[in-house]
Amino acid sequence: MNLSVKNRLAIVLLLILLLPSSAIGWFAYRSAAGEVRSQIRSAAKESVQAAEMKIQDEISSGMQDVDYLSGLMSAKLLAGSDPAKAEALLAPFQAAKPNYENVIFGTTEGKTAAVPPSDLSGDYDPRERDWYKQAMAHPGTAIVSNPIVSASNGEMIVVIAKTVSDGTGVVGAVVGLNGLSEQMKQYTVGQRGYVFVLDGNRNYLAHPSRKPGGTEYQQLHPASVRHR
């Protein structure tokens, strides 16, 4: 079909008008998309920083508690069969910190005092627990144990622990990881994003839907697993 000169000029003018408008629309879309991505990254960074600060504050507070208790506790308090004296020293710390499932003291003789009293088996020996061994391997220094299974309720826990001043045992604050997962739910990214916490081996410590201690992340991302 042959177009007249008039029609050809009309088409050219139309293209001249449409192309800048399309370009402006495309650049506006890219700019808006970039702004949304920037806002999401900023929100994610803020949530992660807030969660990290929360965890660091709890660990720091726990270390201060066990540091203080390490100067009070001694196996002499459990010399008899009654742990009441030891429990009386532990009780105020457990009462003041709802995130502590227990505050526990284990001696080099294998005796234990805990507040609140735990449903521990009669043959429970604190010296066989990882938190006790880790603390004894670093005398005089507060440590945070690797995630372990609680001997009293079977849940995943970490223990902030330290050897006592006279070297006769280890005192520890037991922190349940289910509680940590609940705390992390308050930190969100957008409408569906969330914050989760991994240990040095990429096992879950806190996640809104995964169980603490789970290895799903390192199975999905084996190349990113680092051992520390």
Please write the tens of the pLDDT for every residue from 100-134.
Answer: 889 999 999 999 999 987 677 778 899 999 999 99
Cβ–Cβ under 8 Å, residues 105 and 114: yes
Cα–Cα distances in angstroms (integers) from residue 146 to residues 33, 72, 121, 150, 156, in the given order: 42, 25, 22, 12, 10
Pairing of strands 197-198, 169-176: unpaired
Could you list the residue range(s) of the whole structural domain that residue 210 is in? 41-228
Cβ–Cβ under 8 Å, residues 82 and 88: no
In a domain, 88, yes or no: yes
In a domain, 15, yes or no: no
Q: Could you read off the pLDDT of 193-217 as tens digits, one per residue?
A: 777 777 767 777 777 777 766 666 6
Q: Could you read off the pLDDT of 139-161 as tens digits, one per residue?
A: 999 999 888 778 777 778 889 99
In a domain, 32, yes or no: no
In a domain, 76, yes or no: yes
Domain count, the chain: 1
Question: Which element (helix H / strand E) includes 61?
Answer: helix 5-70
Question: Which element (helix H / strand E) includes 102?
Answer: strand 100-107
Determine the length of the chain. Answer: 228
Give the burial class of 20: count Cβ atoms within 10 A of its Cβ; 0-12 exposed, 13-18 middle, 19 or more buried: exposed
Query: For residues 207, 224, 133 and 124, what is the CA-based torsion angle, rounded to 10 degrees?
Result: 40
**% the chain with pLDDT above 90:** 33
Q: Which CATH number belongs to the domain containing residue 108 in this structure? A: 3.30.450.20
In a domain, 98, yes or no: yes
Give yes or no for residue 56 having a pLDDT over 90.
no
